[in-house]
Amino acid sequence: MLFALLLSISFLVLFYGLLWKAIPKGNLLHELLHLPPLWFHLVFSPGRDFREERIPYGRHRRQYVLWCTPPENIPVKPVILFYFHGGGWQFGAPEQFRSHAQQFTQMGFVVVMPSYRRAPRYNYLHMREDLTSILLKTREILAKRGMGEKKALIGGMSAGGNMAALSALNHEALEQAGLSPGWFRGLFLLGAPLQLEKMANTVPLRNFAGPRNQPMFQQANPYWYVNKPLNIPTLIIHGTKDGMVAFESAREFAIRMKAFNTAESRFVPLPEGSHLDAASWPFRQGLARNAFLEWLKDHS
């Protein structure tokens, strides 16, 4: 019995290894096969020493932020950092990305990692409400803690980058909430869906943004908020062989940002890079990590 079990496990490992080598970059199966190492790093990264608070901003169990403060021996930067995690608008939680917060807090950032109501039960319209509530709650906390003067960097990975772009670039929603677009000192977008019309018509995208011929699809598309002069330093990192979020989605957005943004729009293509190459910046040396850390240094 034990021998049969070990034989089955060995076969599965061998089959997985063969698929790992055989499936080329640029498709979803390649990305899924390479997810386990990423999750291993997320789960088994070294311990954290930052202070963490779970602060609700609504009644739903997903409506909260993780507020992460650097250790007392690290000087706090004059800007806070919003970091929206990935997960296709339906998976993941801030707690799974504490290893990312660890790196940011070691740099001196107060880090806000938001959670929000998720697809398929909720769509863009609900998430838009949550984004406004997240920003207002953050401003409230900063004011109560004597940090009301702090500016913010905002960004995220994958779907989290989409959420960050929608937060920073929808000036009408910001102004209706009494928030100034000038609060944001910079925007960083890692492997993010930024021009939804260049995305495959997948179930997660439809659950989030609805049918392509409906108004909500355009409202959920960061590309269409870049339609007037902007002034927000922006970093876009994207793999040319991304099998989850089409590279063309980022490329077209970057072109549009460079046309409308008076601040620098820095586009960093990762040659032959996959979706997970962008996601692995916290623990993998290379272009994505170097470009991101350099940009953070320049804008904090």
pLDDT tens, position by position, 253-295: 999 999 999 999 999 999 999 999 999 999 889 999 999 999 9
The predicted structure's pLDDT at residue 11: 45
> What is the mean pLDDT of the segment spanning 73-84?
97
Cα–Cα distance measured from residue 116 to residue 154, given in angstroms and rounded to the nearest whole number: 16
The mean pLDDT value of the chain amounts to 91
The predicted structure's pLDDT at residue 12: 45
> What is the mean pLDDT of the segment spanning 121-134?
98
Task: Decide if pLDDT at 14 tops 60.
Answer: no
Residue appearing with tokens 């004597």: 146
Domains of the chain: 24-298 (3.40.50.1820)
User: Residue 9 — very low, low, confident or very high, per pLDDT cuts 50/70/90?
Assistant: very low
Task: Decide if pLDDT at 51 tops 50.
Answer: yes
pLDDT in tens, 161-172: 999 999 999 999
The predicted structure's pLDDT at residue 26: 75
The predicted structure's pLDDT at residue 31: 77
> What is the mean pLDDT of the segment spanning 174-189?
98
The predicted structure's pLDDT at residue 15: 45
pLDDT in tens, 25-37: 777 776 777 667 6
Pair 85, 97: CB distance under 8 Å: yes
Cα–Cα distance measured from residue 81 to residue 277, given in angstroms and rounded to the nearest whole number: 22
